[in-house]
C-alpha cells in the first residue's frame, strides 16, 4: 500500500505538471529543436535510485554502459553515493541527474537529510529520518525546508564530482504541493537544468504557468505499477513501446539484482523490491525490447540533450 501511494503521487505529478498544449516560445516541438522531424518518437529510458544500494548501482551502471538505458538519477542522501561519484568520474559522458529525495520508505533501511538537521526540522519524523511516505511530508514539511534540502543535495552531488544533467523526484514528493513544485522549478532554473514535467490535462495544469517557454516537457511518462503481472513484464514493456506516440517520452525503470543485499533492504515491500528491479533489468536488456525500439523507429535520447532546447 505504501508503494501504491507513491504511484498515486506520481500520477499526481502528471496531473499538475503539464497541460495538453504547453506554452512555448516557438511553434517548434522538442524533436524539431533537437534536429529531428516533428513527428519523431523520442524516448528517454531512465533508471531511478542510484546510490540506494550496491545492487542497484551495479545493474544501473551495466545498463548505462551498454546503452540499455540512456539516463539515470542519484539519491544523494543514500549510503552508496561515493560509489556513484567514483563511477561518474570514470564515465563523465554519462547522463546522470539528481533524484531529489525527501522520503525514506524502507522499514529497516533509513536515511535523512543532507542539510544540517537543525535547518530542516520539518522534514524529519520523530526518529530523525525522513518521513517514510509522501503524505506526512505534505502535512509537515515547509517549502523553506524543502528548498534548503534540495539545494544541499544538488551542491553535495556537485562537490562529489557529479555534474547533474537534470532534476527529478523520488516518490513524486515535490509534485505533491504547488509550493514544493515551485521550489523545484526555481532551483532547476538557477542551476540551468531540465527537470521533470509532463503534458497532461487536469485541474493542476495551471502550474505550467510557472515554467519558462523553453522548459522541455514530456509528452508521456511510463512507469509500471504493482498491477503488472510478473510473467508478462517484458511483454508489457514491448507493448508500451509499440504504443508509443510521437513526441518526447520517458520510461522510468528501477534496476537491480535479486540478491541478498537488495532483498534485505526491500524486505516486506515486493513493490519496487529486489525481484521487481531484476525484472526491470531483464526487460530493458532483452533482445525483444531493443528490437521493438528499432522496429518502431524510436530515437533514444538523453536528458542532457534537452539542455540544447532550453
- CATH of 2-309 among 3.40.640.10, 3.40.1440.10, 3.30.420.480, 3.20.20.370: 3.20.20.370
Which is nearest to 170 in space by CA: 75, 58, 273? Answer: 75
Q: How far apart are the C-alpha atoms of 71 and 94, rounded to whole Å?
A: 7
Pairing of strands 247-253, 220-222: parallel
Burial class (CB in 10 A: 0-12, 13-18, 19+), 192: exposed
Dump pLDDT digits (tens) for 274-308: 999 999 999 999 999 999 999 999 999 999 999 98
Dump pLDDT digits (tens) for 63-82: 999 999 999 999 999 999 99
Beta strands in 184-301 (DSSP E): 220-222, 247-253, 298-300
Burial class (CB in 10 A: 0-12, 13-18, 19+), 252: buried
Dump pLDDT digits (tens) for 17-44: 333 334 444 458 899 999 999 999 999 9
Compute the half-sphere exposure of residue 1: CA atoms within 13 Å on the CB side of its CA. 1
Where along the chain do its domains lie? 2-309
Amino acid at each position: 500500500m505504501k508503494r501504491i501511494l507513491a504511484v498515486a503521487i506520481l500520477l499526481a505529478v502528471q496531473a499538475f505538471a503539464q497541460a495538453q498544449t504547453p506554452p512555448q516560445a516557438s511553434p517548434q516541438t522538442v524533436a524539431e529543436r533537437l534536429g529531428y522531424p516533428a513527428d519523431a518518437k523520442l524516448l528517454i529510458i531512465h533508471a531511478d535510485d542510484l546510490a540506494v544500494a550496491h545492487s542497484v548501482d551495479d545493474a544501473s551502471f551495466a545498463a548505462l554502459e551498454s546503452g540499455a538505458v540512456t539516463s539515470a538519477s542519484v539519491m544523494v542522501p543514500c549510503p552508496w553515493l561515493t560509489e556513484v561519484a567514483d563511477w561518474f568520474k570514470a564515465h563523465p559522458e554519462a547522463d546522470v541527474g539528481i533524484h531529489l529525495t525527501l522520503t525514506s520508505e524502507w522499514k529497516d533501511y533509513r536515511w535523512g537529510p543532507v542539510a544540517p538537521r537543525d535547518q530542516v526540522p520539518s522534514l524529519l519524523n520523530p526518529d530523525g529520518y525522513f518521513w517514510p511516505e509522501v503524505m506526512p511530508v505534505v502535512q509537515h514539511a515547509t517549502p523553506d525546508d524543502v528548498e534548503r534540502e534540495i539545494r544541499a543535495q544538488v551542491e553535495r552531488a556537485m562537490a562529489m564530482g557529479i555534474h547533474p544533467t537534470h532534476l527529478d523526484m523520488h516518490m513524486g514528493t515535490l509534485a505533491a504541493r504547488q509550493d514544493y513544485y515551485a521550489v523545484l522549478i526555481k532551483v532547476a532554473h538557477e542551476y540551468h537544468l531540465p527537470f521533470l514535467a509532463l503534458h497532461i490535462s487536469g485541474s493542476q495544469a495551471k502550474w505550467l504557468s510557472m515554467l519558462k517557454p523553453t522548459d522541455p516537457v514530456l509528452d508521456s511518462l511510463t512507469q509500471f505499477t504493482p498491477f503488472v503481472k510478473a510473467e508478462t513484464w517484458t511483454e508489457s514493456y514491448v507493448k508500451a513501446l509499440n504504443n508509443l506516440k510521437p513526441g518526447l517520452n520517458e520510461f522510468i525503470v528501477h534496476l537491480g539484482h535479486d540478491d541478498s543485499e537488495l532483498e534485505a533492504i526491500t524486505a516486506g515491500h515486493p513493490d519496487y523490491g529486489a525481484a521487481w528491479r531484476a525484472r526491470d533489468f531483464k526487460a530493458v536488456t532483452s533482445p525483444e525490447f531493443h528490437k521493438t525500439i528499432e522496429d518502431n523507429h524510436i530515437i533514444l535520447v538523453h536528458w542532457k540533450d534537452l539542455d540544447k532546447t532550453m
